[in-house]
Amino acid sequence: MATLPARYGRWVPVLIPLALLILFLHLNARFGDTRVVLQPASFPNENEAEVPPDPKSSPSCRQLPGIEDVLVVVKTGITESQHKVPVHIRTTLRCIPNKLIVSDFEEDIDGLRTLDVFRNVSQTLYSNDDFALYNRARQGGRQALTSEDHTKVANSAAGMMDNPGWKLDKWKFLPMIHEARAHRPDVKWYVFLEADTYPIWPNLLAWLENFDSNDKLYLGNQMMIGDHTFAHGGSGFVISNAAMHAFADFYAEHADEWNEITNNQWAGDCVLGMALAEAGIGLTWSWPHVTTQSVWEQDALGEGFGRPQWCYPPFTFHHMTPADVDQMWKFDQEWFSNENRTVLTYGDIFQYFIRPMLTNRLDNWDNNAPDGDNNADYRGPSTPASMYECAEHCARSSNCLQYRIDKQGRCSTSGWALRGLPKPGVASGTMLWRVDDAIKRRGSCGKPKFITK
């Protein structure tokens, strides 16, 4: 792990704890749900508009051979479920035969009943401070939520320690595994997602064809806290039938011990990785099939771990708002409406979804270009710089694809090509002809690439 490529720090998350903290600090920090409506490739567009749900279109389900052997488990909580889950029920989960919404509160969400993941944990846990929200909701229902339950301020190095939903969340991982097995002991694959994770099902099924569910497998986006490598929860992860039974048996025998460990850790996905390792189940590093970032933050032309993303089919994107899910779903459906298409690669997504949205310049928009005067090699205009000076600076370096000016007038550039996200006071620009050149150099993929071990 000491020989990771330099780019890796931005894109591939076996991260030092600091970077993981940043991730959690950004958790839910997104404000607007407005996104650009999908347009035909020849029609770049700068007008933002909500994508309305389309009640007229109720297409039949595309054949997903193998999906009947998968249980999809979506983890949510009372403070977000009614806002984030419905969009999945009408899009990504609509054609999924085996699904389970696990939560800290049992309720109906558009006709699906959530499962209280803590219904069967040791009674002593209920007196843990972290369960205050759970106890309140169980007695008083939604009315028992307070405004404090909705704070999203990252007020500590280890995340939103004042947010009751956040503190409770780490406790869900181990019982969730147990409940998943109890629900469907016989399926080949258990897939765990969160409510802001976007799954691309044909890509998952094509990827899983490379594995045998009789092997003990734990597939996920590699992360590290201290010495512990684990699959990042929000990126989604997959557990094989053999691993599920080995682990659930192990956990049933050692539940109290692992409750104690959970109490002393702040990341539930990390505890799960530790427990799986203890049960003899190692992680298969699965980036870029599973990722921590939204589709707007992916550098499809880039690489990590020496792997160019271009020809890999992504299974997930994370930090997808309900509007993002709707928009991505539209593209996903359009793509797979051609029955000859078996997967959707990063290259396809970039060329046919992201590239048509890129423009020379966008105001109140952030493409995340990082290389500014924080960098020793910086030779750009001094702060405050104009957008024009920043563009000139980018143009002078042949591998610069994007640039931006932040609120302070600081110019920064990058060799990435991201769609980016709305951000007041920031202006972003893209060298479109270089992006098109880079697309040509990546070329077409022929066979898609998969991580198989």
Ligand X SMILES: *[C@@H]1O[C@H](CO)[C@@H](O)[C@H](O)[C@H]1NC(C)=O
The smaller minimum CB distance to ligand X, of residues 252 and 395, is found at 252
The smaller minimum CB distance to ligand X, of residues 338 and 398, is found at 338
Q: Considering only CA atoms, which of 120, 157, 145 is closest in space to residue 23?
A: 157
The smaller minimum CB distance to ligand X, of residues 82 and 263, is found at 263
Q: How far is the CB of 122 from ligand X (least distance, A)?
A: 7
Would you tell me which residues interact with ligand X (CB under 6 A)?
A: 120, 178-179, 182, 252, 338, 340
Kindly state the helix (H) or strand (E) to which residue 135 belongs, with its residue range.
Answer: helix 132-140
Contact criterion met (CB below 8 Å) for 10 and 370: yes
Q: How far is the CB of 247 from ligand X (least distance, A)?
A: 13
- 129 CB contacts (<8 Å, ≥6 apart)? 167
Contact criterion met (CB below 8 Å) for 378 and 372: yes
Q: How far is the CB of 130 from ligand X (least distance, A)?
A: 20
Q: What is the CA radius of gyration of the chain?
A: 22
The smaller minimum CB distance to ligand X, of residues 110 and 334, is found at 334
Q: How far is the CB of 334 from ligand X (least distance, A)?
A: 12
Burial class (CB in 10 A: 0-12, 13-18, 19+), 199: buried
Residue with CB nearest ligand X? 182
Q: How far is the CB of 56 from ligand X (least distance, A)?
A: 23
The smaller minimum CB distance to ligand X, of residues 124 and 338, is found at 338
Q: How far is the CB of 100 from ligand X (least distance, A)?
A: 12
SS3 (DSSP) at 102? strand
Q: At 403, list the tokens.
A: 């640039």
Q: How far is CA 246 from the centre of its chain?
A: 27
Kindly state the helix (H) or strand (E) to which residue 152 belongs, with its residue range.
Answer: none
The smaller minimum CB distance to ligand X, of residues 275 and 427, is found at 275
Q: How far is the CB of 182 from ligand X (least distance, A)?
A: 3
Give residue for tokens 């042949």: 398
The smaller minimum CB distance to ligand X, of residues 117 and 191, is found at 117
Q: How far is CA 353 from the centre of its chain?
A: 18
Phi/psi for 118 (5° steps) reads: -100, 10
Alpha helices in 16-64 (DSSP H): 17-26
Q: At 139, list the tokens.
A: 């007695």
